[in-house]
Structure formats: C-alpha cells, structure tokens
Chains A and B, each alone.
Chain A
Amino acid sequence: MFTLGPLGFTAPWLLLGLIALPVLWILLRAVPPAPIRRRFPGVVLLLGLTDADSQSDRTPWWLLLLRLAAIAAVIIGFAGPILNPQDTRAGTDPLLIVADGTWADASDWQARTDRIGALLDNAARSGRTAAVVTLTDLPVDGPTFQSAEIAARGLPNLGPAPWEPDTVALTTFADTLTGTFDTFWLSDGLARDSRAPLLEALERHGRVTVFQTPRSTVALRPAQFVDGNIMLSATRTPTGPALTVPVQAIGLDPAGAERVLASVDMAFEAGEGIGDVTLSLPPELRNRVTRFAVAATRSAGAVTLTDDALRRREVALIAGGGEAEGLDLLSPLYYLREALSPTADLIDGTLDDVLLANPDVIVLADVANLSPTEEDGLVQWVEAGGLLLRFAGPRLAASDVGRTTEDPLLPVRLRAGGRSVGGAMSWGEPKALAAFPEGSPFFGLAIPADVTVASQVVAQPDPTLADRSIAQLADGTPLVTRKTMGEGQVVLVHVTANAEWSTLPLSGLFVQMLERLAISTRPTAPDAEALEGTVWLPQARLDAFGRLDDATSEAGIAGEMLALGVVGPDLPPGLYASEDARIAVNVAGPDTVLATAQWPARVPVEGLDVARETPLKGALLAAALALLMIDVIASLAVGGRLRGPRADVAAALTLGLLLGLAPHATRAQTPPNAAADDFAIAATSNVVLGYILTGDPQTDEISEAGLRGLSDTLTRRTSIEPAAPMAVNLETDELAFFPFLYWPVVPNAPLPSREAYAKLNRYLRTGGMILFDTRDADTAHFGSASPEGRQLQAIARTLDIPPLEPIPEDHVLTRTFYLLQDFPGRTDSRDVWVEAAPPDAELADGMPFRNLNDGVTPVVIGGNDWARAWAVDARGNSMFPVGRGQAGEVQREYAYRFGVNLIMHVLTGNYKSDQVHVPNLLERLGQ
C-alpha cells in the first residue's frame, strides 16, 4: 500500500489520472456551452446585429475549478484512500485469532470485536486466511481457516460466555490444531491454569501475540448472612490503589417492577484484592432482593444471584391450652403473629403436622406438656437445625416440666411457680431489662424504658445458666435463655408471648428480638447427598453481560451437576428451582480469588487499542457528486438559463437545495396557553357562577340562562353582583375559580375522567359547592328509579361527599337571606339534601336552632329543575313557565329566593348561623 502521511491508497496507480487535469482544463475552456433556442418576436430587431466577440463566453475559472475538483475527487476516491491505514502484520501464514470469551471479556466486548475486526481487515489485505475461536465455545474439530472476509462476517455472532474455559476441552482443542499458523490471543486478563499448556501448544505452530489490557476486573461473590446482615464481598484484579465499587441490590418492588432496592459502596483497600461490605436491610426489602450487582458493569462476574438464603422463613406457632374463648388481644399468639407475619411464613396446626412441614422455627407459647412422640419429633427436628422458641406462661409455671432435671426442650431448669413483682399482692416494682450482654444475639438492641416485667418463670441456678442466659432483667434474673442442641437450638423466653406478664410484647424490642432470633436460623444449602438424583429446572439464566434472561423453557439440570458446582456450558449460571427450593449458580463462588494473567517474556503482549481505519472512498465520491450538482446549477447560471421563462423553476430548485442543506429552523416557540389565561382572568375578575358542561347543548343553554337569571336577581336584590355565568369543562378547566357550580344531571352523559374526579374532590374539599339537579322532580328520591337518579349515583360514587340529610328546618340555608322552608324550582319537591349535621349537634336552651356545622355544605342535591325556573332570555323574560297563573309566579319567586339563599350561603358560610349569638354578645358587651 502506498502511504502519504496518515493516508494510504489501495490503488495508487489511479492517482496518475491527476496528470490529465490540466489537459481537461484547456478542453473545458474551449468548448462553448450549448445554445438555447428561444421564441422571441423581437428577433426582427436583432437581425443584422453581430456579436462583438466571435468567441462564446469562456467558462469562468471558478466553474472550471469546480469541475476539476469534482474530477480530482473522483480520481482520488477510486484510488482507495484510507485514513490511518493499519500496518500490515508481516507473515503469510494462516492466522488464528483466539479470544478468551469469558464473562471477564463482556464489559469491553465491543473493543475486542473491533480489535478482531481490525486484525481480520489486515489479514484480508495481505491475503491471509484466518479463523476466529473463543475458548469458551471451542469448535469440535479444530479451527477452520477461511478467507479473512468470510471470517469477519461471522464476527457479530461471536459472544462471550458466562463461564471460564474448560481445561479438558482446551486440551482436546490443542490436539486438533494442525499446520503452521500465527496466533493472536485476546486475553481477558485473568490468570488461569489452563493458559500455559494452550500457549505451549499454540507456540508449536507459530508465533503467538497476546493482546491484554491492564484493566480492573471485579467479581462479586455470593451474598452471605452474617449476624442477620447481608455480607457482600468481591474480589478484584489487579490489586491496585483503593477502589470503591457501588453495589446494588436489585429486586421486584411491590408493584412487580424490577428496581434497585438498595445501594451500598464496597471499598477495596489499597493493595487488597478482597473487599467486603455489610448491608443491613429491613426483612421485607431483603426478601425481595433477587440479585446483587456492581453498578454500571456489564459482566456476569459483577452479578450474584440470591436464592433461598434470603427467602422468608417458615415459623410454626403453637399455643398451649384449648380453644378458650377470649379476646384476640389475650391470645398468647397475637403479638407473635403481628410481629412475624410481615417477615415470615406462618404455619398453624398441631405439632405433629407442623413437624412434617419442617419449619425453620417452631414457637411454643405457654406449652407445658408434650406427648412423648411430639417430644421425640421436636428433639429430632431441633437437632437437625431447627430453632425452638418457647414462651413461658401460667401453664408452664404451673407444670412440673424441667423442675428436677433439665428438660431436653428447655434450656434451663425452672423453679416452681415463677415469681411476680410489682403486682397487687407483691412488693417491689416491675423489673426493667438489663442491657444485653456482648455475645448475646440481641447485643446492641436499644431497650425502651417502658419495657417492664411483672411476672416470669425463674430459672434454677445452674453452672450453665450464665452461659445460657442471653437476656436478663435489671436484677440479673435470666429473661431469655438459650441452649444449642445438635445443629439447632432451644430458646426460652421467661415471660408470656402476650402482654399478661410483661410489656415486652407491646414494644418494638419484641419484634427486633424475634428478628434476631429468627434470622439467625436460615436453611442450610442442600448438600451433595440431598442433591443426588434430583432435577433442577432453570428459572433464569445469567448471560456473560450480567443480564438475567428467562430460562423456564430450558431443560432441567441434574442435582449432581449442581453439587459439583462447576460453571460451564452444562451448568450455566442462573437460578435453578426444584419443588420448594431454589439454588443460585453464580459465576464467582464464595472463595473465588481473581489474579492477573502473567505471560512468559518471549510472548509479545500488546494493548487492545486500535486506531480505526477510515476508508475515504465513499466520502470523496459523495463530495464529487455534490460538486457536480453545484456545477449543474452554476452552468445553468453561466449559460443564461437561470433567467428567462424557466428562471423561476431553477430558482426554486436552488432555493430548495439551499434549504435542504441549511439546518432546519428552530421551531417557533409555542405560545403560552392564552386561552387558559383568558379563562382564569374572566373567572376571577368577578364573582362568577359556573355550570358544568353536560355535553347536551340544550341543557347547557338552559343552565346558562338559569344562572344568568339568578345572577340578575342577585344583582338586583343583594350586594352580590356576579358577572355573566361561565361554562366549565370538567376535563380541561380549573374549578377553583368558582364558588358555586350548577351541575344538571343528564342521563347517559359520559362520566368524568379520573383527573376530573381528582379535581372535583379537591374542589369539594377546599370549600366549593356543587348543586346537583336531577331535574326529575325528585321522583326517584335518590334511588335508581329515574335515569337521572342512576346517573347521579354513578357520578357521586367516586366523589368525596359527606353524609347527607334532607335540609333540616334549622339549616342555615333556610335563613341566609330570605326565610325559607321550601326550595322549589320548576317543580316543588320537598327533599333537598345537604351535608348532615354532626351527630352531637343539639338544640341549646333558648336557641331557635342548633349550632350546626361550620363551613359550607359541599353539595346540595335535589331534583327541582331550578335552572328552568331561573332561566331568563337576553331581554330578561322568563323562558319557561312555572306552575299555573299567579301561584306559578309565586313559586318562581321562591325559586329565586332559594337561589339567593344558596349563593349567600356559599359566599358567607355560617355567618347567619353565628348571628344566633348576637343577643348574647350584645348582652356581654353591655356589661
């Protein structure tokens, strides 16, 4: 390849064509442009006029230059220029490109494929055959050397695997190698025993070059429980300066969406290869964690799945005594249930049944005597790792269990009868708790001052008592004792599980203590023996990039494989489930330690960085095309074709080109919502009555006319002078501007949207009033007998409406302006409903009416079709007849009076109600 600075040419001989450019210059200058034929009546006047210069306009120099530039671009373009051409690696032998393809490669897999691509490009240019192999996915019958272009085509299919190369498979692969070839080995940077043999095998066939970058690799080890907390640890290589990695706990939130539940920074000390951090999560959150991952690292090693180790524990609750009828709060298990149900699966049943379920914890609350079979079962279960938690109680205190000899299911011997302190028949104060001693599982828990113990069973002094006591009262009496038994333990709390003997179950400490006790009993992982012969179905599979894919459709895996625990193609990392247990297989085990791969000095090690080759051919040819396009327009301009009849077309084309090239003008700023502003200003510049748009034009018109009539009446008779009523669209308009809304209920109208309901409820809560008018003369009496009634029920179902009652005689609505007892509209039905008076409102002595609720009733519901009674047309004439004759007009007058009272009530609230006190106030002032 011919190179010129950073430029290389694949076909440099074509550049000789540039010599022809000066010749072209002369030729182009000589050739005149083709004539245009034009119809022109004025030709007569031209006859006889000769050109001053017999030669045509010479092509201007800039146009010539343009054309020459275009041609030069074409010539150079076809000469195949390449920016930053890569040095061809010497050699003609076939090329084997080996990539480790492990999870450690995943985080920068793109860089690796780029590097492989560059190597293949090189090989293609020098005509070498090549083969690409990943060590985690070895071809069965050795590498196939083929043309480098074809090999490059398979590059997108190449991917890392979430496991490490298998030593046996590597040996087999090394045996399949034949012939002479050079090897490029893209290492993932991790030390591995299998590297050296393979390197030797490869070197037997030719030179080996290694590509490896000194980057940091972190692998997260499985999360472990240490003292009720989650212990996370990670290993890294190289062990460089101090490093902090953010680790995220990921799981499903209550809504079922996967999200980061907690985040913690894990710190590696400088020079330390292992970092760890303790994560303390509330049990509820911890139960949800499905995996931990190092944030922003795409690698399977940076993810560790959690399994049963974090699952909810099964707790069996068994209370002594029969089915005594009593209050829930007295049940010995009530507080236990309350405390454990959020964090544990509770099991009920008889002890025999419960033992079959093999729970993690069995709680015996005041159970004294057990049958021999039960006792044997319990002992076996505890020795197999169960936690038996016993609470004392009257029955235990009264029984002879553990009196003389230590009961196997009690940690200590008990003295008969127990003791009471601070009771009615005893001296002293109820005892408080002493601080938990170090070594106790409760160590560190704060003790609330109000936790006192009034009664307890008392342990017999024993040599072992001090060791077994894990919580004491202030006077040193053991409160909680524990003994280990086999793999399990027995814990006795010397008070009852209910609040009978102490206030402990009432306090938060009780929950914390239970937590400490229950959490420290997590199920042990099934061992190889248990796994033998079982089949585990993959639930989720971790790919090399740390993504979790659903794998429920894949075949099950034998338990033996799981017991072996070697991650590989046969056991991909992921989550495996049997009937009732789940096992996570992670890339990094609890003891994994990463180290950096070291290569012998004879092997050259290069970095991964690759300066991208940029072929310029396309760009140059495109530039040539663009230049020719410009030449077209310029030639037209020079030849006079951009004037005359077709000038507008040409101008339009040019303009179009320019516009197409110019960046699109920024979109005009959207004008502010002027309509909404106008609405707000109109609604707030004066008192405005509003009506809800129902979607029925006739109803809306009547509402408007009705409120207009009412507004006129108010203006005439009172100091309220409302502006013209406004229509309110529930969906789009703001309601807060209106003190009063009239809502005619129209059957079959669409219900308001959720947002509109939210708006309505806010409106009602903040002091707005809605007058619902079913306009059916209240024939339905609030029932579903009329379509309007049904619609009202549908509307009101979601509304925040307080209890209602028909307007009582002493309601403030009856006297805000006029004294009224009827509230007619176009019809005269008695029942109009308002917010009910508080139940304790009573008629005070000497008062004409009760001192009722403060504030304004948020809704008034009736069916009297008030809008029609109020409605006036533009000239102030009533639009609809009311009743007959004079009586009808009187009814209309009362309708107006109701309207006036209503608006007065809206605007003045309980003012009239308070006037009741005026005589009293005057009397006091007089004194």
Chain B
Amino acid sequence: MTDALTLRAGAEAQASALPPLLAAAEHLASTVILGDHGRRRAGTGDTFWQYRSAQSTDHARSIDWRRSARSDASFVQDKEWQIAQSVVLWCDRGASMRFASTDKLPEKATVARTLVLACAILLIRGGERVGMTGSDLPPRRGTGQIAQMAALLARDDDADYALPEVRGLIPHSRAVFVSDFLGDIAPVEDALTRAADRGVRGALVQILDPQEEAFPFDGRTVFESMSGTLQHETLKAGDLRSRYLDRLAQRKDRLTQLARTTGWQFSTHHTDAPATQSLLWLYQSLAQPA
C-alpha cells in the first residue's frame, strides 16, 4: 500500500461512516487557535452568543439593525468564541508492520495507515488541526493536510521495529500512536512519559495479526523477523505457544498500565476485525474531555 491515492481513498471510505469528530477543547491559550469549539464566552466565531449594546469602538456595520430597530439603543451581535484542537498522529512504519498471515488478511501496516488517516480526516472535518509527530508535518487545518499525510504515511521504514517519535508534540495537545508495540517497550514508555509531562493525552492502538495472537505453530520451526535480522529456532513450536501467549499478555498489560498512569487510552485491533470498530473507539477516546 504505497500508493498515496489508494490509501487516501480507503481512509475516506472509512471516515465517511462516522459523524464529524469534535475533540474536547483544552483550555490552553498558547495552543488555542480559532476553531469550531464553543468556549461559552463571546469572541470570534460563527454562532450567535448574545446581543450587547453597541460601543463606540464597534464598527457601524457590526450593528445588528434588526435587533436595534426594536428599541432605541443600538445592539451588536456577539458570536461565541470558538477554538480548534491540535491532534498529532504517529503511525508505525517499521518492517514488522508489513506482516499478514494469509493472503486474505491485509498487512498490519495497511490497517494502521487507514486507521490513522481516517482519524485525521474525521478530525479535519471537525475543524481540528491534525499533524504528524516529528518535523515533517506540523498540525494544520484543511484537506490539503490529508493529502500530505497520506503521502508521508506511504513511506516505509526499513528497521524491524520503529521507535515512537515524540518530537513535534505540541504541549497540551492530543496524540494518537498506532503500532504493533512488539518491539522494545522502553522507548514507548519513554515517549509516553515525556508526552504526559507536556500535558499531551491520547490513545494507543495496537495492531495485531490473528496469527500473532494465536501462535498456531507446531513442529521444528525457525522464526524470523520481517527483515530477517532476528531469528529463533525451536524444535517444538507447539510447546512455546503458552509461553509466547503469556509474554504477549504481559506486553498488553504493560501497555495498559502505562496508558493508565499517563492518562492515555489503550486498545488492541486485529487485522481480521473491521477497522470501523477501532476508529469508533478512537473517536470516543479523543472526544473524552480531558
């Protein structure tokens, strides 16, 4: 799935199934840019807030003549102050994501990219500013951003397991990390702690193939990582199953615990499940007020 257009088309299809997503507004002046979130006070915006008496500083053209005509004083229509939220996304582009157990299932990377981009589309449609971690794509509004994001996402990383990127995280913004989280857990911990330090909250989505969840192997087997750098040989793969599943459960526990301590949300998505489910979960977790 390197074709940016195809990727975007898939993501648009996913995003069309949901209503526009509105992230809860955070009261952080430094990062607040005008957006569609009502601030329950007068300011710049589109929707009506209140009528007030016209001041001398008001332009004559801002006077609401319809209201003014009903009385002697002149009135000005105040609008509700609206702000936008920045959401920063990170998608694992490592080699381990390019795994699919059967031809019928999509690669994990495909699922992850679709999910991320769908989320971005929803956010932009809701008026949010969406960007990617790192310096490549700072949060911005507008559909042009989606095209750029799609192009960026289509790139692949050669490393077996990619490290989460925390650069470009705007303080008190929102973040979404999508990965299989099978690599070293320490960088993830580090990234999450640093993000939490900067007041960034968000969601972790773990993408797993059904085979990674079931370990349906038997007999003498040599397991290799996707790039072939890691190898493990066993004479009885069947014997390893329980211990592997234990380790996988430990990894999920660790991530859940990490998310809880940092105020993030954690979920696991399987490539054989519909992506909408996870997008809905993502939508709800981002919509939760901080």
Contact surface of A with B, Cβ cutoff 8 Å: 32-47, 49, 51-57, 638-641, 643-645, 648
Contact = CB atoms under 8 A, between A and B. Distances in A.
B93 to A, nearest CB: 14
Contact of A42 (B102, B215, B219, B234): B215
B218 A44 contact: no
Contact of B220 (A32, A41, A52): A32
27 contacts: A32-B235, A36-B219, A37-B221, A38-B221, A38-B224, A39-B225, A41-B99, A41-B225, A42-B223, A43-B225, A44-B230, A45-B247, A45-B248, A45-B251, A46-B240, A46-B247, A47-B232, A49-B232, A49-B244, A51-B239, A56-B236, A57-B235, A639-B220, A643-B216, A643-B218, A644-B217, A645-B101
A47 B99 contact: no
Of B209, B221, B223, B233, which is in contact with the most chain A CB atoms at under 10 Å from its CB?
B223
Nearest first, the 3 closest Cβ-Cβ pairs linking A and B are: A640-B218, A640-B219, A41-B96
B243 interface: yes
A45 B230 CA distance: 11
Interface of B: 96-97, 99, 101-102, 108, 160-161, 180, 182-183, 209, 211-212, 215-226, 230-240, 243-244, 247-248, 251
B224 A645 contact: no
A35 B237 CA distance: 10
A132 B276 CA distance: 88
A860 B235 CA distance: 94
Contact of A44 (B183, B216, B217, B243): B183
B230 A33 contact: no
A57 B238 CA distance: 10
Tell me the interface secondary structure of chain A in the complex.
Answer: loop
B204 to A, nearest CB: 17
Given A40-B224, A49-B247, A53-B236, 10 more contacts: A40-B212, A42-B244, A43-B224, A47-B230, A47-B232, A52-B236, A57-B219, A640-B219, A644-B211, A648-B102
A57 B240 CA distance: 13
Given A645-B101, A645-B102, A43 B219 contact: no
A57 B235 CA distance: 7
Given A34-B220, A640-B221, A41 B180 contact: yes
Nearest to B98: A41
A40 B223 contact: yes
A639 B108 CA distance: 28
Contact of A38 (B97, B217, B244): B217
A535 B97 CA distance: 101
A38 B218 CA distance: 11
B239 A43 contact: no
Contacts of B101: 644-645
Contacts of A54: 235
Nearest to A34: B220
A652 to B, nearest CB: 14
A34 B97 CA distance: 28
Nearest to A57: B236
A36 B216 CA distance: 13
Contacts of A55: 235
A43 B223 contact: yes
A577 to B, nearest CB: 80
A41 B108 CA distance: 11
A35 B97 CA distance: 25
Given A37-B222, A47-B232, A42 B239 contact: no
Contacts of A42: 182, 212, 215, 223, 244, 248
B216 A39 contact: no
B286 to A, nearest CB: 27
Given A39-B99, A41-B99, A41-B212, A46 B235 contact: no
Contacts of A45: 182, 244, 247-248, 251
A643 B182 contact: no
Nearest to A42: B212
A648 B105 CA distance: 14
A643 B239 CA distance: 15
Contacts of A44: 161, 182-183, 225, 230
A640 B237 contact: yes
A39 B231 CA distance: 9
B220 A37 contact: no
A37 B231 CA distance: 10
Contacts of B108: 41
A46 B219 contact: no
A643 B217 CA distance: 7
A9 B226 CA distance: 58
A913 B40 CA distance: 103
B213 to A, nearest CB: 9
B263 to A, nearest CB: 27
B238 A640 contact: yes
Contacts of A34: 220
A41 B235 contact: no
Nearest to A40: B223
A298 B101 CA distance: 71
Nearest to A642: B218
Contacts of A41: 96-97, 99, 108, 160, 180, 182, 209, 212, 225-226
Nearest to B102: A645
A56 to B, nearest CB: 4
A843 B240 CA distance: 114
A45 B215 CA distance: 11
Nearest to B218: A640
A38 B233 CA distance: 10
In this complex, the member of A45, A47, A639, A640 whose beta carbon has the largest number of chain B beta carbons within 10 angstroms is: A45
Given A639-B219, A639-B220, A46 B99 contact: no
B169 to A, nearest CB: 26
B138 to A, nearest CB: 31
Contact of A641 (B161, B219, B239, B240): B219
Nearest to A45: B247
Contact of A35 (B96, B222, B251): B222
A55 B215 CA distance: 21
B222 to A, nearest CB: 5
Contacts of B215: 42
A46 B102 CA distance: 21
A53 B237 CA distance: 11
A643 B161 CA distance: 27
A55, A639, A644 interface centre (most CB from chain B within 10 Å): A644
A634 to B, nearest CB: 13
Most buried by B among A38, A41, A51: A41
A43 B236 contact: no
Contacts of B99: 39-41
A52 B221 contact: no
A51 B240 CA distance: 7
Nearest to A636: B219
Contact of B224 (A32, A37, A53): A37
Nearest to B94: A41
A38 B243 contact: no
Contacts of A643: 216-218
Contacts of A639: 218-220
B143 to A, nearest CB: 34
B104 to A, nearest CB: 9
B211 to A, nearest CB: 8
